Amino acid sequence: MHSSLHVPGSPTIFSLILICPGGPGSGKGTQCEKIVERYGFTHLSSGDLLRAEVSSGSERGKQLAAIMEKGELVPLDTILNMIKEAMIAKASTSKGFLIDGYPREVRQGEEFEKKIGAPCLLLYIDAKAETMLMRLIKRGETSGRSDDTAQTIKNRLELYYKATEPVIAYYQGRGIVRKINAEGSVDEVFSQVANAIESLQ
């Protein structure tokens, strides 16, 4: 496995960084849980960090909740700083970071590299729009998430195709993107994920 990666000029040294972009409902969180189980990476979900801030009842949390329930992106600096603080807090004991749900637009990717470091693998969890829609509606039955409602799901899918899918092209040229077909069962998807991670060794 890679030794610690240091991007020149980045303020701190982190061990390897894997990022896991994909549409809403593609299965990022589900796959990340299985990756943590098998490889012990530190999983940081941008959405979970935001929801923790919302449930803290802070003023900032209230503002974030209003944005998220519309399916819009929260301010770049907010989510980037939350991820950076979480990484620094875990840097000394982490085997490597698995960043879930970030970047969601190209400039987030650019800022991440300026302020944190360069990813070494991009696990692009790719599912069809109708599959994501179906999974989100089903998740909405139990998640209690204010952004798993029909209108917000529609907004989030539109935003994904407009802002997030271009992120894949941004990294494509570096040969670090592994496209994972997320249409099958959880285990079928995970076997592709495991192959991609083991190709790093």
**Chain residue at closest Cβ approach to ligand DAT:** 47
Q: Does 185 bind ligand ADP (CB under 6 A)?
A: yes
For residue 3, the number of C-alpha atoms closer than 13 Å in the C-beta half-sphere is 1
Q: Does 29 bind Mg ion (CB under 5 A)?
A: yes
Q: Does 92 bind ligand ADP (CB under 6 A)?
A: no
Cβ–Cβ under 8 Å, residues 76 and 108: yes
The span of 4-12, 34-42, 90-98, 185-193 binding ligand ADP (CB under 6 A) equals: 185-193
Q: Does 3 bind ligand ADP (CB under 6 A)?
A: no
Interface contacts to ligand DAT, rule CB under 6 A: 24-25, 28-29, 45-47, 50, 68, 71, 73-74, 79, 101-104, 108, 147, 156
- What gap in Å lies between CA 22 and CA 101, rounded to an integer? 7
Q: Which is nearer to ligand ADP, 26 or 164 (CB)?
A: 26
Number of other CB atoms surrounding residue 58 within 10 Å? 11
Cβ–Cβ under 8 Å, residues 117 and 193: no
Q: How far is the CB of 60 from ligand DAT (least distance, A)?
A: 14
Give residue for tokens 């979970």: 48
Cα–Cα–Cα angle for 74, 78, 81, rounded to 5 degrees: 140
- What gap in Å lies between CA 51 and CA 64, rounded to an integer? 9
Query: Among ligand ADP, ligand DAT, Mg ion, none, what binds residue 104 when CB lies within 5 to 8 Å by partner kind?
Result: ligand DAT
Query: Among ligand DAT, Mg ion, ligand ADP, none, what binds residue 189 when CB lies within 5 to 8 Å by partner kind?
Result: ligand ADP
Gap between the terminal Cα atoms of the chain:
5
